[in-house]
Structure 1
C-alpha cells in the first residue's frame, strides 16, 4: 500500500508540474488533434503531441530542410483539421504550395508571408501566435536567441496556438525555450509490392529533446494522408500485408 501511495503522490506532482509548464491533460480526446504519431506516444507528456507550444526543427542541409517541410506539412494536416488556417512565414521560402495537397492541405488554407530579415519573421510569428483565429504558425529562418524564443512561448501560452520554428542551416544550435527540438533527415522512399514509381516519402525523425518527455529516434513514412510507422532498419520494399492496417 505504501508503494502505491508513493506512486500516486509522484503522479499528482508530475501532473501539477506539467500544468505549471503549460501542458494540459487530455480530458476530451475530440478536442485534442491526433497527429498520427502513435509510435511516439510514450515520448510525449500525456502520450499526445504537445499543442499550444513552440517546437524547434533544425535542418543542417537543404535536403534536410525539404524533408522537414514535408514532415511539418504532415503535422499541419492534423492540426488544421478544425478548419482554421496556417500562417507560414519565410525569409527564403522554397516550399511549393501546390505540393501541400499531397498532405491533404489545400494551398488556400495557408497564408504565406515572405520577409527579408530574421527579426521581421520573428515579429510576424509573435503577432500570429497571439491570434487564435489560426491553428498553426510556421516560421522558416536561421538564427533565434533564447529571449526571442521566450517571447514566442509566452504568446502561445495565452492563445494555445501551435508554433513551428524551422531553423535552416543555423550557425549554432543554441538552447531555446521551445518545448521540443527535432531533426528530420530524408530516407530512401519505400515501394510496395514492386509497384513502379518513386514510392512513398520516408523520414528519419530524431526527437533530440522534449520537455517532460523521452527523446528518441523513429522512422516514419507517409501514405494515404497519414503517417506510417516503419522499422528502424533500412527498407526498400514494404509488403502489402504489412501496410494494409494503414490503408
Structure 2
C-alpha cells in the first residue's frame, strides 16, 4: 500500500510539473485566489483558475468587447487584491476608467498606456509582462500572430505575471500560444421579470483551455461578485441596444 501511495504522489507531482511547464500556475498563490467563478473552475486543470500565464479574449463586435472588458474587470478585482497594480494597453481605448469602481477597482491602480500602432502595443505588453511589480497586464489589440503570442508566454514564465490579450474585431480566430480562449457576450438583464432592468448579465464561453474542458456559463455581476445563473442563452442573441441590454463597461 505504501508503494502504491508513493507512486500516486510521484504521478501527482509530475502532473503539476508538466502543467507548470505548459504555462499553468497551480501553486499556493493561485489556490488562494477565489475569482467567484463557481462551476467554471471544473473546466480548469486542478480546478484552479490559471494565473501567471496568458489568456485570450476574442470579441467579434463592440458589444462583445464591452462585455468582455466588464468580465475582465471582475477578474482583475480579485487578481489585484488590496495593493496590486495593472497595466492596461490599448490602440484606441474606449474604456471609461471611473467605471472600474463598479468592480471594486480604484482607477489609480490601473495604469493606462495608449499607443497608435499595434507593434508598439505588443512591445509594451511584452516588456510589462516581465515586470514583477505588476499583478496583471491587459492589452486590447486586434491581430496577434502565433509567434508574437509565444513571445508573450515566454515573458511570463519567470515573472508569473498574468496577462490578458483582448482581441477586438479580429479578422480570424487562429491558434495562439495562450492557455485559454474566451468569448463574452452581453445578455439582457432582468428584474421582477422585466428585461433590461437589473444587474448586468453575460454569457461566458470558454472556447479553449489547455488540459481542461471548454464550456459556457451565464453570469450576473451583483454585490461586487459573480453569480452563476442557469443557462439562459437565447436561440439568437438579440441586437445590442441601450434599451434592452446593459453592458459591464
Indicate yes or no: 2:7 matched with 1:17: no
Q: CA deviation at 1:198?
A: 2.9
For 1:54-133, list aligned pairs within 5 A.
54-133=54-133
Residue 181 of structure 2 is matched in structure 1 by 181
Gaps of 5+ in 1: 236-247
Counterpart Cα distance in 2 of 1:34 and 1:68: 19
Counterpart Cα distance in 2 of 1:199 and 1:123: 40
> 1:234–1:227: structure 2 CA closer, same or farther, 3 Å change rule?
same
Residue 33 of structure 1 is matched in structure 2 by 33
Residue 203 of structure 2 is matched in structure 1 by 204
Residue 219 of structure 2 is matched in structure 1 by 220
Residue 162 of structure 2 is matched in structure 1 by 162
Secondary structure of 1:155's aligned partner: helix
Gaps of 5+ in 2: 235-249
- Cα deviation, 1:194-233, whole Å, max 9, x if unaligned, reads 6998310111000000111111011111011110100003
Residue 137 of structure 2 is matched in structure 1 by 137
Counterpart Cα distance in 1 of 2:69 and 2:153: 21
> 1:156–1:231: structure 2 CA closer, same or farther, 3 Å change rule?
same
Tell me if the contact between 1:85 and 1:134 (Cα under 8 Å) persists in the aligned partners: yes
Residue 146 of structure 1 is matched in structure 2 by 146
- Cα deviation, 1:29-80, whole Å, max 9, x if unaligned, reads 7x63221112111111111110000000000001000100010000010001
Please identify runs of 4+ aligned residues in structure 1 that moved more than 4 A. 1-13, 193-197
Residue 242 of structure 1 is matched in structure 2 by none
Q: CA deviation at 1:9?
A: 6.9
Tell me if the contact between 1:92 and 1:141 (Cα under 8 Å) persists in the aligned partners: no
- Cα deviation, 1:63-122, whole Å, max 9, x if unaligned, reads 000100010000010001041211000001110111111000111111011001111101
Counterpart Cα distance in 1 of 2:213 and 2:170: 25
Tell me if the contact between 2:101 and 2:107 (Cα under 8 Å) persists in the aligned partners: yes
> 1:6–1:159: structure 2 CA closer, same or farther, 3 Å change rule?
closer
Secondary structure of 1:200's aligned partner: coil
Tell me if the contact between 2:23 and 2:179 (Cα under 8 Å) persists in the aligned partners: no
TM-score normalised by length of structure 1: 0.86
- Give the length in aligned residue pairs: 233
Query: In terms of mean alpha carbon deviation, does 220-229 or 195-204 score higher?
Result: 195-204
Tell me if the contact between 2:25 and 2:52 (Cα under 8 Å) persists in the aligned partners: no
TM-score normalised by length of structure 2: 0.86
Tell me if the contact between 1:26 and 1:46 (Cα under 8 Å) persists in the aligned partners: no
> 1:194–1:216: structure 2 CA closer, same or farther, 3 Å change rule?
closer
Residue 44 of structure 1 is matched in structure 2 by 44
